[in-house]
Each structure stands twice: as C-alpha cells, then as structure tokens.
Structure 1
C-alpha cells in the first residue's frame, strides 16, 4: 500500500486537530505540512506494524512540542485569533493535547499515552489539568443554530451543564440572524444544513458582519469542509458527537476569544 493511500484518509481529521490545537488554519496547516514532509523524508515513521493514525498524531504532537511554528500569522485573521499566542501560554500544552486527542479525535487513554510518549498515570494527570482549566472558563452566552430538535436540545443541555447560557435555538437562517441581533452571543454553534434549506455557513457569515465571535460548526460530513481551501472553520464538531467533544471545542473556541475571559 502506498504512503499516500495510508495517509490520505486521516488528513482531514489531523488538520482539524492541528487547527484546534493552534487556533488558526495557517498554523495548523503548517504543522501538518511539516508532518507530511517528515514522512516523505522518512517513510519508516509509518512502519508496517504501526497504526498510521497514531503515528501521524504522534509526529504532529512531537513537532508542536518542539518546533515553534505557532506564531505564523494569518492574513485577515479575526480579532479572536489575534490573541492566540498570548493565551496559549496560560494553558499547559500537553494537557490541551491530551484532552483534544480524547474528546475531539476519539483516542482512548492508552492511545493518548502512546501518542504523547508518556505513562498512563501521566495521561490522567494531564486530563486533570485540562479539566481544571476548562472549569476556570467563565460562563458565556451561546447561540445554537440547529434544525433537528433533539440534537439542539442535547447541545443546549450540554452547554448549560458546563455553566454556559443559551441565548436561543434557531432552525433557519432568518431565526439565527434575528436571535443574534436580539441577544448578541459570545459564541455560535451552527449546523451546516438548516430547516429552510439554507446554509448555516451563510447564516453565520451574516451574523459575523455585526459580531466578531468564534464559531463552531457541526456536521456529519467534515470532509466537505476540510478540503484545504480557504477559509475553513478552525473548530468543527462531527456528528454523532459526545458531550466531551462539545466541551473540548467550546473551551478551545472561548480560549481563543479575548472577550470570553477577564484580563488577568
């Protein structure tokens, strides 16, 4: 099996992880590119007996921990992304890696330990550190754009259980814009396809003309958004999702938004 055949199925998700870890598409893609260059130079990284997915994430995490590429700027980046570098220094990197590997990418604890080259006990400590950081996040007002009632209520229950507030649930483009205008949110959770046949992306773009807030997209088909073309969402939840996945992405998105936390 060729190198490209083994790697290609994992790239959209590796890029999602890299962007959530760094906070911008530019920085995340720079790390992924470094991983691919490393694989081309040394294909033995994906040895016949290794799990290629674990090998890819392990290589990326190694680069992220040792190579300072995070500071690369992105043209016309939103205000919330411009605060990334200052805020990254306040949350332990390994803890953020461990939490995202589990909650966002679905790795079990043993896989996380292998990817981060640490013991099971060290992984549990990292998760404890991540949970403390997430608990420290202040409560925020969140707009939910989702046309499936059960999923919308599930998301609302999840965010309120984390101490956040729902400003409302919108099922259509028009409802989303109206709710955002009436109750300006600090974060938007949006599905891609809405009840009126419109695009959640279009609704979000209209909202962002008035409010500069972080956005988390929800979709059953992430490969349609993770194409390598710009712009792409830095935060993406894949259906079906777990409460931990929602928790991880909300914490990351709010972390990168200056207004979500009082200045120290």
Structure 2
C-alpha cells in the first residue's frame, strides 16, 4: 500500500548546514533501498518533508526521523494513502526556499513533482505545501522548547499508594502516562496504558486470547485500571483509558460495566459515558 506522511519540524540551531547535506546523502541511500521517495523543504528554521512509499518502509523511516536529535517539535501533518507517487524521482534533496523568489517558489517545488495532474488540483498534500511555502499560518506555530530545556518542578503533592489488593491477583497491570499541556505547563490528565504483569505492552497481553475473547478481556482490564487509579489517590486529576475498536459493540453491557466500576472505585464520570443503550 502506497503511504504518504507529511511532517514539519524545527531545526536545531547548533547543527551546521553542512551536516544536513551529509544527512540527506545518507538518507537517500537508505530511502532508495526501501523504495521511499519524496521531497524535503527548508526555510532556515523549519523542515517540511513528504515521504511516500510502501507503508512499512515509510513508517520505519519516519520513526527514525522522529528520533533524530538534529531537529525537534516534529508535527505529523498528514498520513494518507495514494494510488501514485507525487515526487517519484525527487529523492530527498534539501530544497532551500530562501534561494528562490517568493512568488515563484511554489511552482518550482511543484515542478519537481512526477504527478502533475494531482498537484494542480485540490490535492491535500498541495494545501500543506502551499501553506508552508507561502509562510501562511506561521504566526500560529507554537514552538515547544527542545526536550533538554525542560525543567519539571514538583508541586509538593506526594501521591501515596493505598490498598492494591485487587491488582495483586489480576492478570494485567497499568502504567499511568501524564499528558502535558505545554502552554499551561502542567499535567492535564493521566492515560492508563495496559500492561502485562511483567510490564509488557497490550499486544503481549492480548496474545493469549482468541479473537472473540480479546474484547471481553479488554473491558475487564478496566476494572484493574480504575482500581489502580483509586489506589494512587489521583484527586481531581483526569484519567483516560483506551478500548479496542468494537469492544463497546461486541461486549453486551460494556458501558454499564464501566460506569459501575468508575462509581465503585470512587471516581467521577465527567465526560464519556451514560447508561442509555447505544449512546457513549
């Protein structure tokens, strides 16, 4: 399946431009072997890249890109499928927008495309290209500081573990991951992430169940999640849980079960569920 990913990121100021050229040369070799093509734009501050190719290859390369320390604030703008490539012969050369006239640069970029028909009309990717090239919406970019500049300061509220007797006999556990609002500079919620008792992820936990059993195991696991949240004494902190697609459809009474467990553990259902059948 031909997959397209478009992202924008912020160039680290301490990286010399020469290093970028070397990076692109190395990336071209790997991308060529993986059947991945695209185009990389640079405006002196931000990168804007389109990757296209086989789904597994594009996903793997994009994951490595996200881990690269030469840029930060990686924002995925589009992930989609396409019947043909937009930039099938362009490789990953750095296209520096500063070297071209503002009124002509968009057309210069489009001229590098190998699918002119799609690029002329209302192609979704083209809309992102136009916005980036013409520097529109730039005032709305929020630049999150690089990860090495963050300082986390305790608010003095120590969470004391309460009774965890239920989880000692459970067949699963949960990790609680904070969601941070960078504007407010505070933790706004905690996400309960399913784990095996050994700490492995959801895929390992569900591997022991049949296709039909997965949904019931999924809903039953939330009993442990709510019990652990109650034991952690989260106070007014918002808690979110994840469900497999179709769990609420496949398991009769799933919503009522969740509501009962929320109430039984002294938690408050603020947003997500009600007891009307079929309504969530």
TM-score, length of structure 2 as denominator length = 0.25
Greater Rg over alpha carbons, structure: 2
TM-score, length of structure 1 as denominator length = 0.26
Q: State the structure with bigger RCO (CA 8 A, min sep 6), 1 or 2.
A: 1
As a proportion of its length, which structure holds more strand? Answer: 2
